Amino acid sequence: MNVAQVGLDVARLRRRAGLSQEELARRAGTTQAVISRLENGLKLPGYGVMDRIADALATNVTVTFGTAEPLPSRDERRRRVRAVLGDYVFDPWARGPAPAEARSLEADGLTRERFSRR
């Protein structure tokens, strides 16, 4: 089962129905955060929630286990990101990270100096 694909399918069906995440959540008896996590491929809710989402969308949602479709390789994902972002480089320091995030960035070698050289 590809959780990301399930999320993409739900997002497509929701948009086709003309609903916001909040409206779908209300109709399905859940929260907007649950719908967001589902659509972003972060979590697959239980069958009960999925059933209510399908009812709220007035459609069937199909989940296939054992899908043969492999995820794109790391290089392919990078190529896709470059195709969209071009030469843009996100600078996490530009938004003033909280102290804990700043420590995490520095621990990962993502120092202010590294981004100021660009």
Check pLDDT > 70 for residue 112: yes
Mean pLDDT across the chain, nearest whole number? 89
Q: Pull the structure tokens for residue 59.
A: 């459609």
2 CB neighbour count, 10 Å cutoff: 17
Q: Pull the structure tokens for residue 26.
A: 């209300």
pLDDT band at 117 (very low <50, low <70, confident <90, very high): confident
Average pLDDT over residues 64-74: 76
State the pTM of this model. 0.56
pLDDT band at 87 (very low <50, low <70, confident <90, very high): confident
Check pLDDT > 90 for residue 75: yes
Average pLDDT over residues 34-50: 90
pLDDT of residue 118: 62
> Which residues 6+ apart lie within 8 Å of 24 measured at CB?
14, 17, 35, 53, 56, 57
Check pLDDT > 90 for residue 27: yes
Check pLDDT > 80 for residue 69: no
Average pLDDT over residues 53-59: 94
Q: Domain 3-57 sits in which CATH superfamily?
A: lambda repressor-like DNA-binding domains (1.10.260.40)
Domain ranges of the chain: 3-57, 74-116
